Amino acid sequence: MKRAIYLGTAFILVFLIASCTKDQINSDSSPLEKLSTDQSSSEYLSSDEQILEALNIEDKETKRAYVPGNQSSVYSISNETSANRVLVFNRNSDGTLTEAGSYHTGGTGTGEGLGNQGALTLSDNKIFLFAVNPGSNEISFFYIRGNGSLLLLDKIDSGGELPVSITYHRGLIYVLNSGGTGNIAGFAVNHHAQLFELSDSRKDLSSDMAGGAQISFNGSGKALVVTEKATNTITSYPVDAHGRPGMIHTFPSAGMTPFGFSFGRGNTFFVSEAAGGADNASTVSSYFVSNWGKVSLLDGPFATNASAACWVATTKNGLNLFVTNTGSNDVSSLVATKMGELDFGNDGNTTASDMSPIDAAVDHQSKYLYVLCGGDDSIVSYEIGEDGMLTQIDTESGLPDRASGLVVR
Amino acid, single-letter form, for residue 330 = D
Strand, helix or coil at 348?
helix
Average pLDDT score over residue span 269-275: 98
Please enumerate in sequence order all residues whose Cβ is within 8 A of that of 63, keeping only pairs 6 or more positions apart, or say none.
52, 55, 57
Average pLDDT score over residue span 86-105: 97
Amino acid, single-letter form, for residue 119 = A
235-245 pLDDT, tens digit per residue, is 999 999 999 99
> In which domain, by residue range, is 186 found?
48-408
For residue 58, the model assigns a pLDDT of 54
For residue 347, the model assigns a pLDDT of 87
> Is the pLDDT at 10 greater than 70, yes or no?
no
CATH code of residue 147: 2.130.10.10
Percent of the chain that is helix, strand, coil (3-state, to 5): 5, 45, 50
Confirm whether 364 is domain-assigned. Answer: yes
For residue 286, the model assigns a pLDDT of 98
277: DSSP letter: G
**Percent of the chain residues past pLDDT 70, beyond the cut:** 86
Residues in the chain, overall count: 409
Average pLDDT score over residue span 52-58: 79
Q: Which residues are paired to 287 by β-bridges?
A: 269, 297
- CA 144/CA 137 separation, integer angstroms: 23
- Reported confidence tier of residue 67, pLDDT bands at 50, 70, 90: low
For residue 158, the model assigns a pLDDT of 99
Confirm whether 17 is domain-assigned. Answer: no
For residue 39, the model assigns a pLDDT of 45
178-215 pLDDT, tens digit per residue, is 999 999 999 999 999 999 999 999 999 999 999 999 99
For residue 355, the model assigns a pLDDT of 84
Q: Which residues are paired to 360 by β-bridges?
A: 371
What are the two backbone dihedrals, phi and then psi, of residue 4, each rounded to the nearest 5 degrees? -65, 150
CA 60 to chain centre: 29
Reference 228, options 293, 176, 161; nearest CA is 176
95: DSSP letter: S
For residue 4, the model assigns a pLDDT of 38
For residue 199, the model assigns a pLDDT of 96
Count of domains forming the chain: 1
- CA 289/CA 221 separation, integer angstroms: 11
For residue 26, the model assigns a pLDDT of 43
For residue 19, the model assigns a pLDDT of 33
- Reported confidence tier of residue 119, pLDDT bands at 50, 70, 90: very high
169-181 pLDDT, tens digit per residue, is 999 999 999 999 9
307: DSSP letter: S
Confirm whether 33 is domain-assigned. Answer: no
Confirm whether 16 is domain-assigned. Answer: no
Please enumerate in sequence order all residues whose Cβ is within 8 A of that of 2, keeping only pairs 6 or more positions apart, or say none.
96, 394, 395, 396, 397
Confirm whether 6 is domain-assigned. Answer: no
Please enumerate in sequence order all residues whose Cβ is within 8 A of that of 407, keeping only pairs 6 or more positions apart, or say none.
74, 75, 76, 120, 121, 122, 129, 361
Compute the chain's Rg from CA coordinates.
Answer: 19
Whether the CA torsion 61, 67, 70, 71 is positive or negative: it is positive
402, 407, 408, 409: CA torsion to nearest 10: -120
For residue 9, the model assigns a pLDDT of 34
Confirm whether 282 is domain-assigned. Answer: yes
> Is the pLDDT at 31 greater than 90, yes or no?
no
Of 21-30, 128-137, 298-307, the poorest mean pLDDT is in 21-30
Q: What pTM does this model have?
A: 0.89
Beta strand ranges found along 84-243 (DSSP E) = 85-91, 97-104, 120-122, 128-133, 138-144, 150-157, 163-169, 172-177, 183-189, 195-197, 203-204, 212-217, 223-228, 233-238
357-385 pLDDT, tens digit per residue, is 999 999 999 999 999 999 999 999 999 99
For residue 56, the model assigns a pLDDT of 78
Please, what is the average pLDDT of the chain?
Answer: 89
- CA 130/CA 218 separation, integer angstroms: 18
Confirm whether 241 is domain-assigned. Answer: yes
Confirm whether 221 is domain-assigned. Answer: yes
For residue 337, the model assigns a pLDDT of 96
For residue 22, the model assigns a pLDDT of 33
> Is the pLDDT at 37 greater than 60, yes or no?
no
